[in-house]
Amino acid sequence: MKRILQAVKESRLHTKLLSTYIFLLAVTILVLSFSDYQLSRRTVLEMAKKDVFTIVKKNNEILDAKFSRIREMIYGFTEDADFYDAFSHLHPANRTEVLTADLRIKGILDKYFAQSQDLYSVQVATSYFIFGTASSANSEHAKNFIPMQGFSDTEISRIARRGSGKTEWVPTYDFAEMYRVPYLKDMDYDYKYLFSAVSMIQGTYFKGTFRAYSDMQDKPILILNFKDSLFSGVFAGSIPVSGSTYFVVDGTGRVVSHPDRSLLAKPIDLPALQELMNTKNGVRMLDIGGKKQVVAFSRSEITGWLSLAVIPPGELLEPVIRQYVRNLIVSVGLITLLFISLSFFLSRTITLPLRNMIRAFVNTGEGRFDTRFEETGSYEFKVLMKKYNDMNENIRKLIQENYETHIREQEAEIKALNLQLDPHFMYNTLNMVSLMSLEKGESEISEVVVSLSNMLKHMVKTEAAVVRFKDDLTYLEGYVTIMSKRFEGAIRVEYEIDPGMLEDEVPKFFLQPIVENAFVHGFKRLKKDGVLRISCYENGDRRVFRIEDNGSGMDNAKRVDLLQGERHVGLSNVNRRIRILYGEPYGLTIESAPGEGTAVSVTLPLSGRLGGTA
């Protein structure tokens, strides 16, 4: 280090200045970069936490909507008069009656549950028979798997009876353990893990408009079984962050849904589980497995289960850090290059005059007078430079002339640039006028200026003959806004637009002349209660765009003149353009009568969507 300092001390003035600038630059960049990184890290992490929480909450709302729908189907089934009628004449000891009732109950189950794609199977269990074992409810997944013997002694039966008619949600369980089927314990089968909704049928139902009661000694239990795919179908791809885990637990911490199937129906060690359950929704930084993790959670209002997304903070920040490092390297490189260039320039402003002065005196001694000094620096330098400049007056005049010529060239270049009017200058100017109008409370002027800006953008955007209907509609809406302001609220404009037609190809500006004709001629004498309706729809193999007004209307001769006459360029031009583009069957038709308004219909063939921006 001592040797380096000694070398710098003995170096040239230019080297000392350059070293000082580089050192100050490095210190400044390091301090500012560290501060900016910390701020960016905190900001990005907070934004990412909010985004993850929003995703988890929305997914939980989707699940609750599914569960709510299932609960409604359960309520409907448990109050079905046909179901109670099937049980009222049933003798459990009569096998024929039981099988007949089974067929009838299958049909009732289908009526309520066949349309639900979330159900795995639906059955009604009693102490003597499991009804619906071959139910076609959601037949793609229906399974005949609940054992008939010993169902009353299972935990799922006890849960249903404790509910006394309420819908109870049974967290994911091992089928072999729940129904005590040991030979399935080590097998991998389709319904190894299930979660269920159960409800004990109490016996009250509606018969006509009156509530009736059926005294059933053996109260049946409705069982709806679901696979974990109900959750995974909602969660799939919702948080595309490497290392993230999306799972569901019940109030005791037992896993209801998890990407790792080996964890299903097992308790999981989750810090502050009770606090999360009580909070219901939110996002926390928790220590899980010795590592800080971002945990977004939301509790179901239906089942009471907790949906959680666990994400390592580093995975959220990694893309940002990579981008930040790349930007930092580029920025540091550019700033370093700039500062080094600046240091060279500043150092040379001090050392170069001395060198130039030495060379100038040598040149003067040798009779060369092609060097000139600006009179700057200390008094001594000025005296020497003045004497030198006095001997080179002619050179000074030449330099002055070159300088003035250079200035004139710059002025000419600036004028040339000013004449290159970019359309964006016009848009920016209109936007500025709009903002100024808003600041002065002139909202109507601002609205008109914005509409004009949008129209101008569309006019210069493309020279294509056809555009997207969405873009042409934007232009038309701007025109309608301006014309509506002109009539000072006397006209109400209604839009009935088929969203599926917004990406269709249409001739550019094909509706504006029709709307203009309605404003200029149809509403010419109208003072109030004017209505202009703009609609579009598909009719068979055609698209129909219809402009209707309740203006003054016209007679048949006027209608013919509008479409074929030479004096009315707008509508006849649109009609000719459509027929050139699409053929004779398509074009404009006018329905009108004096005093009864006018309806102009434009028919176009069905077309494909534009692949890019028109």
Give yes or no for residue 417 having a pLDDT over 50: no
User: Could you give the CA distance from residue 155 to residue 375 in angstroms, rounded to a whole number?
Assistant: 103
429 within some domain: no
Give yes or no for residue 138 having a pLDDT over 50: no
Position 546 scores a pLDDT of 96
Instruction: Read off the CATH number of the domain in which 289 is found.
Output: 3.30.450.20
Give yes or no for residue 567 having a pLDDT over 70: no
In a shared domain, residues 170 and 276: no
In a shared domain, residues 167 and 258: no
Give yes or no for residue 56 having a pLDDT over 80: yes
610 within some domain: no
237/141: higher pLDDT: 237
- Average confidence score pLDDT of the chain: 77
The edge-to-edge listing of strands for the beta sheet with 542-549 is: 491-496, 530-539, 542-549, 598-605, 587-592
396 within some domain: no
424/7: higher pLDDT: 7
**DSSP 3-state assignment of 90?**
coil
499/44: higher pLDDT: 499
Residues 82-94: what's their mean pLDDT? 81
In a shared domain, residues 36 and 150: no
Q: Is 381 exposed, middle or buried (0-12, 13-18, 19+ CB in 10 A)?
A: middle
93 within some domain: yes
Residues 427-443: what's their mean pLDDT? 56
Q: CB of 220 within 8 A of CB of 131?
A: yes
Lowest-confidence range among 83-87, 136-140, 443-447?
136-140
Position 489 scores a pLDDT of 77
Which residues sit opposite 221 in a β-bridge?
A: 125, 200
265 within some domain: yes
407 within some domain: no
Residues 226-253: what's their mean pLDDT? 83
In this predicted model, what pLDDT tens digit does every residue of 309-358 receive, in sequence order?
888 877 766 666 677 677 778 877 777 777 677 666 665 655 666 666 67
Record the tokens describing residue 435, joined without a space: 């903002």
In this predicted model, what pLDDT tens digit does every residue of 440-449 receive, in sequence order?
555 666 666 6
User: Could you give the CA distance from residue 583 to residue 542 in angstroms, rounded to a whole number?
Assistant: 13
In a shared domain, residues 166 and 270: no
Domain termination residue (choose one: 202, 224, 246) = 224
Position 352 scores a pLDDT of 60
In a shared domain, residues 103 and 36: no
How far CA 113 is from CA of 87, 119, 134, 221, in Å, comes to 20, 8, 14, 16
Handedness of CA 524, 599, 490, 432 (dihedral sign): negative
How far CA 525 is from CA of 280, 485, 520, in Å, comes to 63, 16, 9
In a shared domain, residues 262 and 217: no
Position 414 scores a pLDDT of 42
506 — pLDDT class (breaks 50, 70, 90): very high
373 within some domain: no
In a shared domain, residues 240 and 186: no
In a shared domain, residues 87 and 36: no
562 — pLDDT class (breaks 50, 70, 90): confident
**DSSP 3-state assignment of 306?**
strand
Domain termination residue (choose one: 224, 256, 280) = 224
410 within some domain: no
Domain termination residue (choose one: 266, 295, 315) = 315
Which residues sit opposite 601 in a β-bridge?
A: 546, 589
Which of 528, 523, 566, 548 is closest to 602 using CA atoms?
548
451/104: higher pLDDT: 104
Lowest-confidence range among 65-79, 137-151, 337-351, 577-591?
137-151
Lowest-confidence range among 20-24, 173-177, 404-408, 602-606?
404-408
Lowest-confidence range among 30-44, 227-241, 439-453?
439-453
User: Could you give the CA distance from residue 312 to residue 31 in angstroms, rounded to a whole number?
Assistant: 28
Q: Name 204's Cβ contacts closer than 8 Å, sequence gap at least 6.
A: 79, 211, 212, 213, 214
Residues 571-587: what's their mean pLDDT? 87
**DSSP 3-state assignment of 308?**
strand
Record the tokens describing residue 381, joined without a space: 């330098």
Q: What is the total count of domains within the chain?
A: 4
The gap from C-alpha 270 to its chain's centroid, in whole angstroms, comes to: 32
In a shared domain, residues 512 and 597: yes
116 — pLDDT class (breaks 50, 70, 90): confident
493/487: higher pLDDT: 493
Give yes or no for residue 409 having a pLDDT over 60: no
In this predicted model, what pLDDT tens digit does every residue of 352-391 receive, in sequence order?
666 666 767 666 666 665 666 666 655 555 676 777 777 7
In this predicted model, what pLDDT tens digit does every residue of 512-553 receive, in sequence order?
889 988 888 888 888 788 899 999 999 989 999 999 999 888
Side-chain half-sphere exposure of 382, counting CA atoms within 13 A: 5
Pairing of β 221-226 and β 193-200: antiparallel
Pairing of β 291-299 and β 306-311: antiparallel
In this predicted model, what pLDDT tens digit does every residue of 245-262 receive, in sequence order?
889 999 888 999 988 888
Give yes or no for residue 415 having a pLDDT over 50: no
Q: Is 498 exposed, middle or buried (0-12, 13-18, 19+ CB in 10 A)?
A: middle
In a shared domain, residues 287 and 187: no
Which of 250, 387, 397, 235 is closest to 309 using CA atoms?
235
In a shared domain, residues 577 and 486: yes
Position 140 scores a pLDDT of 44
Q: Which domain holds residue 297?
A: 232-315
* Residue 208, Ramachandran bin (φ over 0: left; ψ between -120 and 50: alpha; else beta): left
The fraction of the chain above a pLDDT of 70, given in percent, is 68
Give yes or no for residue 614 having a pLDDT over 70: no
Buried b (16+ CB within 10 A) or exposed e, 511-549: bbbbbebbbebbbeebeeebebbbebeeeeeebbbbbbb
pTM: 0.49
Which of 260, 182, 195, 251 is closest to 224 using CA atoms?
195
In a shared domain, residues 239 and 159: no
Instruction: Read off the CATH number of the domain in which 569 is found.
Output: 3.30.565.10
**Any idea what DSSP says for residue 609?**
B
